[in-house]
Amino acid sequence: MAVMGADVIKVEPPGGDVARTQPPFLGDDPHPEKSGLYLYLNTNKRSITLDIRQAAAPAVLRRLYESADVVIEDSPPGWLAAHDLGYEALERTNPRAVMVSVTPFGQYGPYRDYQATDLVALALGGLLYISGEPTREPLKLGGHPSEYFAGLSAFSGALIALYHRDGTGEGQHVDVAQVEGIASAQGYSSLGHGYIHEDRKRMNAFAPMYRAKDGFVGAMFRQDNWADFCEMMGRPDLTTDPRFADQISRRDHMDELNAIVAPWMAEQPKEDVYHAGQAKRMPMGYICDPADMLASAQYQAHGYFTTLDHPVAGPLQYPGMPMRWGEDAWDLRRAPLLGEHNQEVYGGLLGYTPAELVLLRNTRVI
């Protein structure tokens, strides 16, 4: 939202967003301005500090509510309301505003107060069970997929609510549950049970993966790609081999097929196979690590990675926006320092006098 042009004011506790304490850190130095997670997630925002637990703080935040279009929060359900900062308080202060609450299980329901991590959300959302090898334990998708998915859901939820608000003047409360994001993403488990009354099992990766000379290639091809693939391997004779005539026979003779493909693939550079296959319209893939993506001509052509300077972390390359927007160029700006914008937000936007700001600071409200 911030990179798209919204004025995003990030309200952090005086000790900073927890993300500031999470790795990776520049040079493995756990400094609050050197967390790669924080730096990545907070580009284009302003940062102010506020200790909501201080008696004077809720009134300060409610003044920010007055001019907000959207309030996005991720505290445990009921916590904001206990400080008179929940949706009721927002509606009272600014009925046109939208509140989006992002939590593991949502604002109501029997698991509302359950604890979750990304792994637990993947488990209860049904994605964990279907990933991994059939003979081993279910396997987590790497990184923090349920967190990111909830973030995108909050983005879309906010924009839907704003569309309605712009048409009617009516704000509302949007409830985003991490576990429902994953339950929306699993796609196969619920549908399998609903349609054929079977539980989908783990069945290895979708695309057969081969070890290439310098990494891994995902060889996914359709029926009309088979002859081209045989040609690529220098084995046109396989085109007429009945063992590999169609998807079903190839699956039935998977071991024999792999005995032919694997040794060939092991000699090929991964990107050569990827580009040669794609030139023949095979939807091939290869496993990219960050170095591969930074070196990718495609990512470079889009300017996907942008170098941003930061007063503490210095110049670093950042992933940017995943889309082009007409003729407009994205203006990616570095993440804020902790409380960097206290003066301009509390002093400028809210009109606190310098003396009042000193008082708020001395009483540890900000």
Identify residues 295-334 at the interface with another protein (CB under 8 A). 296-299, 301-302, 304-305, 313, 316-319, 321-326, 328
* Radius of gyration, alpha carbons of the chain: 26
- Report the C-alpha gap between 72 and 1 in whole angstroms: 11
Q: Is 149 in the site for another protein (CB under 8 A)?
A: yes
Q: Is 22 in the site for another protein (CB under 8 A)?
A: yes
Determine which residue in the list 59, 254, 259, 287 makes contact with another protein, applying CB under 8 A: 287
SS3 state at 308: strand
Query: What residues from 114 to 133 belong to the interface with another protein (CB under 8 A)?
Result: 114-133
**Segment contacting another protein (CB under 8 A): 73-81, 113-121, 234-242, 258-266?**
113-121
Q: Is 93 in the site for another protein (CB under 8 A)?
A: no
**Which residue, 60 or 313, is less far from another protein as judged by CB?**
313
DSSP 211-231: EETTEEEE----GGGHHHHHH
Q: Is 291 in the site for another protein (CB under 8 A)?
A: yes
- Residues 190-199 as b/e (b if ≥16 CB within 10 A, e otherwise) read eebeeeeeee
What are 323's two structure tokens? 């889309």
Query: What residues from 152 to 211 belong to the interface with another protein (CB under 8 A)?
Result: 152-164, 166-168, 170, 172-177, 179-181, 183-207, 209, 211
Query: What residues from 35 to 64 belong to the interface with another protein (CB under 8 A)?
Result: 36-37, 39-41
**Which residue, 56 or 183, is less far from another protein as judged by CB?**
183
Q: Is 66 in the site for another protein (CB under 8 A)?
A: no
Query: What residues from 214 to 273 belong to the interface with another protein (CB under 8 A)?
Result: 216, 218, 220, 224, 247-248, 251
List strand residue ranges (DSSP E) for 67-181, in order: 70-73, 98-103, 173-177
CA–chain centroid gap for 283, Å, is 24
Closest contact distance (angstroms) between CB of 31 and another protein is 12
Contact 75, 68 (CB under 8 A): no
Q: Is 145 in the site for another protein (CB under 8 A)?
A: yes
- Report the C-alpha gap between 306 and 57 in whole angstroms: 37
Determine which residue in the list 226, 229, 286, 330 makes contact with another protein, applying CB under 8 A: 286
Closest contact distance (angstroms) between CB of 58 and another protein is 21
Tracing tokens 């407009």 back to the chain, one arrives at 328
Q: How far lies 321's CA from each of 39, 109, 213, in Å? A: 15, 35, 32
